[in-house]
Amino acid sequence: MNSHPLPFCLFYQGGIWPYTEAWEQQRQLVEARLQDEQLSDVLLLLEHFPVYTLGTGSKLDFVKFSPEAADVELHRTERGGEVTYHCPGQLVGYPILNLRRHQQDLHWYLRQLEEVLIRLLAGYGLKGERIPGLTGVWVEGHKVAAIGIKVKRWITMHGFALNVCPDLTGFKRIVPCGIGDRPVGSLQQFLPDISLAQVREELPKIFGEVFQLEMIAQQNLLGEASGNPK
């Protein structure tokens, strides 16, 4: 039996955040860990006001509206992947992990993020599936979770977006993740009574199991850059 305590991961349950604020918060957390690799891992769980984001090499061909005349925010970010959409009812997870403590393997990391979501869905009796050659999680052919990451000197940022109970109409204005032949879905389609509060409560525990981390809840973000639980 392993008597060593698990490394800890601070997690913060936020409400609905402007995308740019969450983006800046991630950058600060990453920068702190580039300066001091001993700082703890962090997981932010948030929602966003309606916003479209592009990966670093995303094609504007997948955006069906004019960015110059858009009535909603559009940001090109440093993550991988194509265009996606965030809005309330979608749970967005931003893990700030030092992969030197886990595995220095980006494919492993992507599969682990998928595993967190697949285990979460299994708890609701849903079979989450991977599709070879693609990143994300599907249920009955509907993409319910998108993943896009950035890793700098093995410190991660960006992460996953799980459609729990969002208004999906915003996805009609893009080709989500550049995949035109597979529909976007939500957990609510399959589980009409599911709530975001349920998923928020259960996800950190599963995240800790998959990544072998002790999850420590934070009431606010103060102290997280220093890596000390508050």
φ, ψ at 2 (rounded to 5°): -80, 120
Q: Would you say 214 and 208 are in contact if contact means Cβ atoms under 8 Å apart?
A: yes
Selecting among 9, 87, 165, 177, the annotated active-site residue is 177
Q: Is 165 one of the annotated active-site residues of the chain? A: no
One DSSP character per residue, 126-161 reads ---B--TT--SEEETTEEEEEEEEEEETTEEEEEEE
Residue with tokens 């858009």: 70
Q: To the nearest 10°, report the CA torsion of 158, 38, 103, 91.
A: -30
Could you count the other beta carbons within 10 Å of the beta carbon of residue 91?
23
Measured distance CA(164)–CA(90) in Å, rounded = 5
Residue with tokens 């103060």: 222
Could you list the active site residues?
177
